[in-house]
Amino acid sequence: MTSERRVLVHPDGESLAGTVAARVITKLIDVIEQEGDASLQLTGGTMAMTVLDAIRRSPARDSVDWSAVSFWWTDERWVPSDSEERNERQAREALLDHIRIDEEKVHPFPASDQAKDIEAAAEAYAAELAAHTPGNAIAPRFDITFLGVGSDGHVAGLFPNTTGIREKSRRVIAVQNAPKPPPDRLSVTLPVLNSSQRIFIVLGGPDKASVLGLALAGASVEEVPLSGVLGVRRTVLFVDAAAAAEVPENLIAPQSYWTSADSVDAH
């Protein structure tokens, strides 16, 4: 099966979050029915939390057997476990604390008060991934991976023109001196991200228009890490009108562009 990128444009952030929430709920129900369980890889950032909140508020939320869902993270801030900056804490407040989950299936990154140092934390999370990875695969089966995108094009903790975006052999890296605070982070690598069955990328706001255009134009992965993201089955970019406003029409091929009125084959 050949993977492809699709762009879905929505008029505003609210409709964008609602659509992504509905898509995630529907797909999780399908996967659990087919496989018996499902796996969701989460990220941080404003848009990601907005989507998780939309899932929490959805009338269809409890149609999902959340106890059958495993939760992983793409990246984490190297801060104490009780820090409000921690992606895990924000995800719990937005969604996980409001649904019936199996805590044994929740796999957060170690916090700065839970590991000897950041390198040890990276090794520990790589070992956690390996323990749940079948056969010769690089990572567990991720049915859906959420990603936000920075205005510089970074995804997870993979920033432009850094060694992290070029890493191919390790599952997890320690990110130090990141160009945005906090400077120290943990992140899975691009091969782990791209092992995901489906990657849902959520972009909102005019500050993302330029980087979206560059990614669609084929900018190098080192300059725009977003360019290197491609799931096994589907890679869907859910964007609002503001984020899409500066993308020239000639950079969007008809076969890779959908409006919110069109359907998405999410298999």
CATH number reported for the structural domain that contains residue 129 in this entry: 3.40.50.1360
In a domain, 257, yes or no: no
Which helix (H) or strand (E) element contains residue 237? strand 234-240
pTM of the model: 0.91
In a domain, 258, yes or no: no
In a domain, 145, yes or no: yes
Task: State whether residue 125 is helix, strand or coil.
Answer: helix
In a domain, 163, yes or no: yes
Supply the pLDDT for residue 12: 86
One digit per residue, the tens of pLDDT, for the chain of length 267 reads 456 788 888 888 889 999 999 999 999 999 999 999 999 999 999 999 999 999 999 999 999 999 999 999 999 999 999 999 999 999 999 999 999 999 999 999 999 999 999 999 999 999 999 999 999 999 999 999 999 999 999 999 999 999 999 999 999 999 999 999 999 999 999 999 999 999 999 999 999 999 998 998 889 999 999 999 999 999 999 999 899 876 656 444 343 444 333 344 444
In a domain, 215, yes or no: yes
Give the range of the structural domain holding residue 194, as residue numbers without chain letter.
5-234
- Indicate the DSSP class of residue 111: P
Q: In angstroms, how far is CA 255 from the centroid of its own chain?
A: 24
Distances in Å between the Cα of 184 and the Cα atoms of 39, 210, 218 are 27, 26, 29
Domains in the chain, number:
1
